[in-house]
Each structure stands twice: as C-alpha cells, then as structure tokens.
Amino acid sequence: MFGENSLKHLRWLKNPRDASTCSRIALLARAALSMTGVRRLLHCVAIFALLAISSCSRSSPSKPDHPRLTVGVTLRDVTFHSAALNRDMTYRVILPTNVPAGGKRPAIYLLHGGGENYQAWSNDSDVARFAEKGLILVMPEGNSSYYTNSADHPQDRYEDYIINDLIADAESRFPIAPGRENRAIIGNSMGGFGAVKLALKRPDLFAFAAGLSPALDVPSRPFSVKRVDQWRRHGSIFGAWGSQARHGNDPYILARSADPAKVPYIYLSCGDKEGLLAANRKFAGLLEQRHFRYEFRVAHGGHDWNQWNAQLGGVFERMQQIKLEP
C-alpha cells in the first residue's frame, strides 16, 4: 500500500526537526493530489499529524534578555516547583533596592501576552520605574495558557498555579505585604484576559485589575475556517463549545454573575486600530450595565508594546488612587 516516498514522509514524523515542517506538509499535499484510495488517505493522515506536531511544538523565538531597569531597583529571577503544574516554573521580580528591615510593599502581578514569556514586561516596557516608587513587580511565566486550568490537560492547571503557588512563593521570598488590599494584577493581550478573568473569579485576592488590550472574547469566538488551528488550541484550554469549563472561564459570563460590590476596580484599555476593540467595548458595556467599578479607555495605536507602554502611567495612577500604594 505504501510507496517508498510515503514511508519516507511518514518517518519524518518521528524526527520533525530534520527539515521544515511547512515544507513537508506542502510536499505531502502535492503528492496526495496525484494519488487515490488508501495511499491518498495515508498521506492525509501524515499531513494532519505534522500539523499537530507543528502546533504542539510551537514556541516563540527566544529574544535577548535586556531588562529596562531604573536606578534604585533590583531584579531577581526565581525558579520554584509549582504543585499545580507539577513542574518547575520561573518568575521575575523587580523590587526597590532599599526596603527597610521588616518593611513590606504591595505586589503587582504582571501577566504577559501570547508568544511572550516572563521577561516581556521588564524588556518591552518601562514598568520598572514603578518599583523605584516602592512597589514589587512579579512577572510569572504563563506559556500560552490563558492563565486557565486546561480542559484537556489535567497537568496544565495554570489558574491554580497563579493563585495558589505563585502568590505564596513570592510572598515567602520577598518583602511583600499580604492581603487583598496589597495586591493588584495587570496583563496585556492574553495576560489581560488572565488578569480580568482572575479578578472576576477570585475577587478576594486583588484590589485592582487591569487589562491592556485584553483578549476577552477568546472563549466565545465562533469557529472560523481561517482559524482552525487557533480553534483547536483554544478548545484544548477552554473545553468544548457550550461546556461548563468554557462558560466558567468566559469573562462575559463571569461578569453577568459576579457581585459588582466585591469585584476589584477594573481598568480596561484598547488601541483604536485593534481588532479587539469591539470585544472590549462590549465588555465595558456589560460592566456599565451591572454597575461595576471600572473605566475603559481607547488609546491611539495597535496591538503592541508602544501602545501598552504609553498606558502604564494612567494605569498606575488610577491604582494608587484606590489606595494600593506603598
């Protein structure tokens, strides 16, 4: 049933790094067009397997680590064992250099976006200047998890990792003041989704939450033939369409049932050139309808760090106005 060509292509599945996965897929597709019956079916199976490998092994290219630090701050990277994930994870902390003995400072948890890592906030923004003013910045690795307990992979409990493991570990190692009133969570894009979702699900943990261009509509995005791979990846995280797992992590659904009196102040911003603007307007309308404490700002720009960095002054100013300050 197999020709030698078919066997060779299928052997590539065992060692997908020998050549470009995209090139193999194209070659298999061209070969399949000239075949019939079982041989074409086998080639199609190989194509889908390669697509799966390509998706599962996708990782963002590593960028040089050049933190944008200011005078009077210290950077430390910590690797610790997460019980929720059953593996070691890394987070970065920027804190004031001179914290008096016995002194405690509020902590701001900064969640990175998709395709980024725990270094992104320190390397791509000027957020370190706020540590100079007495805040402790905690930047965890979130991979491509949407900071959600995966529906399909029980070992990927990223929500539990943040709220149970990360906060406890950071507070045990650094002079962080405990308690909701000393804790805020901020994120961009995927991280903005995580920040808003966690604030809605665990209002007892945070006094302030901010989403910069948060991808709030991800669990409710309908299927599109243009985004089949994205649909599959999101399904692995959020579960089947209409499932309890998906509903339980959908910010729109959570905002309809959460108690506005208990949820922390929510700061939203989105660029006027972004595809996410409509989703954020819709969410802000829901917050307004239910009388949450919130604000929504439309900024000039796109889905990038130039726009997000420009919003940080307003975010931290509002946070301090609600009394989360050194």
Q: Phi/psi class of residue 260: alpha, beta or left (left: φ > 0; alpha: ψ in -120 to 50)?
A: alpha
Task: For domain 73-321, give the CATH number.
Answer: 3.40.50.1820
- Give residue-wise pLDDT tens across range 228-248: 888 899 999 999 999 999 999
- Pairing mode of beta strands 73-82, 87-96: antiparallel
Contact present, 226 and 283 (Cβ < 8 Å): no
Extents of the domains making up the chain: 4-56, 73-321
What pTM was computed for the model? 0.82
Which residues lie below 8 Å from residue 43, measured CB to CB, with a gap of 6+?
6, 9, 28, 29, 31, 32, 35
Token pair of 47 as six digits: 């194509």
In 3D, which of 246, 249, 139, 241 has the Cα closest to residue 187? 139
- Pairing mode of beta strands 183-188, 136-140: unpaired
The confidence score (pLDDT) of residue 11 equals: 35
Which residues lie below 8 Å from residue 39, measured CB to CB, with a gap of 6+?
1, 2, 3, 6
Residue 204 has pLDDT above 90, yes or no: yes
- Give residue-wise pLDDT tens across range 183-192: 999 999 999 9
